[in-house]
Amino acid sequence: MKMLENKWALVTGSSRGIGQQIAWGLAGRGCNIIVHGRERQNLDATLAGLKAYPVQTAIATGELASAAGVAQVIEQASAAPGPVDILYNNAAVQARSESILTIDQAEWNRVFQINVWALMALCQAFAPGMRARGYGRIINLTSGIADQPNLAVYSVSKAAVDKYSRDLAAEFKGENVLVNYLDPGWLQTDLGGKNAWFPVETVLPGALVPALLEDNGPTGRFFSAMDFKYLEK
Ligand SMILES: NC(=O)c1ccc[n+]([C@@H]2O[C@H](COP(=O)([O-])OP(=O)(O)OC[C@H]3O[C@@H](n4cnc5c(N)ncnc54)[C@H](OP(=O)(O)O)[C@@H]3O)[C@@H](O)[C@H]2O)c1
């Protein structure tokens, strides 16, 4: 089994939901984890689960809706015992459901700040170090959402993430900094809701695939966690 021992991963939004599963899944591969959420006390459950694995942990807190909060996340993650080798940009928010004809700019700005600008700032902060060390894995969470115009702010933010991921991958072509984007599937989380198709645990092992790629493996690609739903964890 491929392991990620001695690597450090920052998983944004790992206090609950999909990010929590990813944090635990990466720890199961021996990866050290920087857990992130807005409030320190919300990280206890994830940290308790991580105790089952022989890995180191660190904490980064910060509100991705503000530039100051993003800077705080970068500062705290940079203070972890090891450099960020794997950046899992998982945190995001859903948009307010509203007619595509009347959504105001404030809502576009709110969702884009968290889902797009914060993600890009984290890439800008940590990708240069990956380049210098000749190893990096960046995975950005996207969505398969389609034909829901009332949630256009969210779906367009994810389309921006897809395109940004491909452009960033091109920047690092041949440098072993692999940038990919992953659709987790429609999962039962606070964001996905109770009626979602699958339990959140089914995001593993698929969500680990882009983090486990061999050196100079695929980059700028789309991955679907649900493609691996029936694989052994
Ligand atoms: N669930 C689905 O069906 C589904 C489908 C397609 C794509 N996705 C994508 O998968 C990712 C995870 O979704 P999820 O369903 O696990 O969501 P979730 O259950 O709502 O969890 C969101 C995570 O992001 C953090 N977060 C939320 N707002 C934040 C903010 N303003 N600043 C910093 N952190 C913030 C939360 O931390 P705190 O609240 O503790 O701060 C939490 O850990 C997202 O990118 C989402 O778009 C989900």
CA of 74 to the centre of ligand 1 (A): 18
Say yes or no: CB of residue 59 within 6 Å of ligand 1.
no
Q: Tell me: the pLDDT tens digits for 3-20? A: 999 999 999 999 999 999
Rounded to whole angstroms, the Cα distance separating 28 from 5 reads: 10
Rounded to whole angstroms, the Cα distance separating 30 from 7 reads: 8
Q: How many CA atoms lie within 13 A of 212 on its CB side?
A: 17
What does each C-alpha distance from 2 to 31, 32, 130, 135, 226 come to in angstroms? 11, 15, 20, 16, 20
Choose the residue to mutate in 14, 18, 195 for probing ligand 1, maximizing ligand atoms within 8 Å of C-beta: 18
Tokens of 138: 């960046």
Q: Tell me: the pLDDT tens digits for 185-215? A: 999 999 999 999 999 999 999 999 999 999 9
Which position has the token pair 């960046």? 138
Rounded to whole angstroms, the Cα distance separating 182 from 162 reads: 9
CA of 194 to the centre of ligand 1 (A): 15
Q: What is the mean pLDDT of the chain?
A: 98
Say yes or no: CB of residue 122 within 6 Å of ligand 1.
no
Alpha helices for the chain (secondary structure H): 17-28, 44-50, 67-78, 105-112, 118-133, 152-171
Nearest to 185 by CA among 202, 209, 205, 164: 202
CA of 174 to the centre of ligand 1 (A): 31
Say yes or no: CB of residue 206 within 6 Å of ligand 1.
no
**Residue 66: predicted pLDDT:** 98
Say yes or no: CB of residue 110 within 6 Å of ligand 1.
no
Q: Which helix (H) or strand (E) holds 225?
A: none
Nearest to 108 by CA among 175, 159, 147: 159
End-to-end CA distance of the chain: 11
Q: Tell me: the pLDDT tens digits for 127-137? A: 999 999 999 99
- Give the nearest ligand 1 atom to 13 CA: 43
Per DSSP, which regions of 104-194 are E strands? 136-141, 177-183, 187-188
- Give the nearest ligand 1 atom to 17 CA: 16
Q: How far is CA 215 from the centre of its chain?
A: 20
Say yes or no: CB of residue 19 within 6 Å of ligand 1.
yes
Q: Which helix (H) or strand (E) holds 41?
A: none
**Residue 233: predicted pLDDT:** 73
Is 20 in contact with 26 (CB distance < 8 Å)?
A: no
Say yes or no: CB of residue 28 within 6 Å of ligand 1.
no
Domains of the chain: 8-228 (3.40.50.720)
To the nearest 10°, the Cα dihedral for 224, 227, 229, 233?
-80
Q: Which helix (H) or strand (E) holds 108?
A: helix 105-112
Please give the average pLDDT of every successive group of 10 residues along the chain, which has 233 residues: 96 99 98 98 98 98 98 98 98 98 98 98 99 98 98 98 99 98 98 97 98 98 96 79
For atom 25 of ligand 1, the residue with the nearest CA is 13
For atom 40 of ligand 1, the residue with the nearest CA is 37
Q: pTM of the prediction?
A: 0.98
Say yes or no: CB of residue 63 within 6 Å of ligand 1.
yes
- Give the nearest ligand 1 atom to 64 CA: 32
